[in-house]
Every structure is written in C-alpha cells, then in structure tokens.
Chain A
C-alpha cells in the first residue's frame, strides 16, 4: 500500500471549515484513499473514502487531485467534538485470495478545534 504524508497537527476555529491535507505521491491506479479519525483513545472511526472523484457524505468531503497524488479532507463546519487524530490511508481494494483487509495507520494529523 502507498505511503502517506500528513502534517502532524493543525488548528481550526469552531464553526469554520477544517481542511486536512494528505500527500500520497506513490499511489497506484487500484488504490483508494480512506480517511479515519480517532477521538482520544476511542476506536478509530471511518469518515469517507474515494478513488478519483470527489466524494461527500454527512460527515465530510474528500477532494482528490486530478493526478491523485494528494487529497484534502474537508470538515465544513468544525465543532469541538471534531478534535481528533485524522488518518489518511491509501490501500488497494484488489483482494488476491486470502488478502488481509488490514488498515495501515500512520501518525495522522491532530486536529484541534478551538472555541
């Protein structure tokens, strides 16, 4: 699976949009971009994933550049409860018989939403 690079920390004001970047310059054609977050010591929580088109759900939007070498997770109106470590994960969805669906977590970005 491709390696990702994220800033270690970011701040955001409550009510404003939080834009979390992720670089994945070695991504290959069959690899998706997934975002998870972990609120302090809780289990990681799935946010969104995409291949090449922009995606939106009730939690966030995912913008993937045309060359797919980077992406941005957007939380449109951040709240204090969005303070968490956000993980960008790139992995293949090609399951070659017996493959592990393991998620490889990096260090992520600690997003702190300030009042």
Chain B
C-alpha cells in the first residue's frame, strides 16, 4: 500500500530537548516536504527536498533542520524546541506535480 508514515504520532517534550520526527515513504518519490498546521494560519511549508541531498527552505524554516540521505526518508529535526513550535506537523511526498501524499500527522507539544 502506498503510504507516508510519520513517527511519533504524538509527542510532549520540554524546551531545549532535541527531537527528531521521522518521515518515510514507499513510493520512490523524489519530492518530499514538511508542513506545520496551526489554528488560523493553515498549513505552512517548513522545508522541502527535490531529491537525495537536495533540500531547501520553505516559508517557515526557522528552528528546524532536515536531511535527505536516502530517497525514502526525510526527518525533521528540532535542535532546541521552543513552545512556539507546538503544532501539528505533516510530511508529504510526490512525484513532480502529481498528487501529493500526506502522512497522518505528528502532534507536538513543547512545554
């Protein structure tokens, strides 16, 4: 089954404690992306990757890092999380302009 998986699905952490949210897709897609969703602000892109070792900033990259060492994986790294990064995070993948597949989401709370 074609899918995008994210882990963990829920996470409560404290300010400053480094964390990684993993994203994996099984469709051999070149393109992967991270979004965050906040009430009243909608979905905003954090980072994206056009292919292995090719990443670039989206609209709200501050406080986040990503890496793309393998085609299937695109982890989102928060080196020093802060409360304003409390959000619902989605990973997505696609082959070009065709439909994007989204993961189930990771709900992060930073205390």
Contacts and interface: CB of A to CB of B under 8 A. Distances in A.
Contacts of A15: none
B48 A46 contact: no
The bracket for how many chain B residues form the interface is 20 to 34
A96 interface: no
Contact of B105 (A41, A45, A95, A101): A41
A46 B104 contact: no
B43 A105 contact: yes
Contacts, number: 53
A100 B56 contact: yes
Contacts of B97: 32, 91, 93, 95, 101
A32 B99 CA distance: 12
B82 interface: no
A109 to B, nearest CB: 13
A103 B56 contact: no
A102 B33 contact: yes
Interface string B37-57: 000001101001010000010
A41 B87 CA distance: 11
B64 interface: no
B74 interface: no
B31 A101 contact: yes
Interface in A68-94: 91, 93
A100 B33 CA distance: 9
Contacts of A91: 97
Q: Which 6 pairs across A and B sit closest by C-beta, in order of nearness?
A: A43-B102, A46-B99, A93-B97, A105-B43, A44-B102, A102-B45
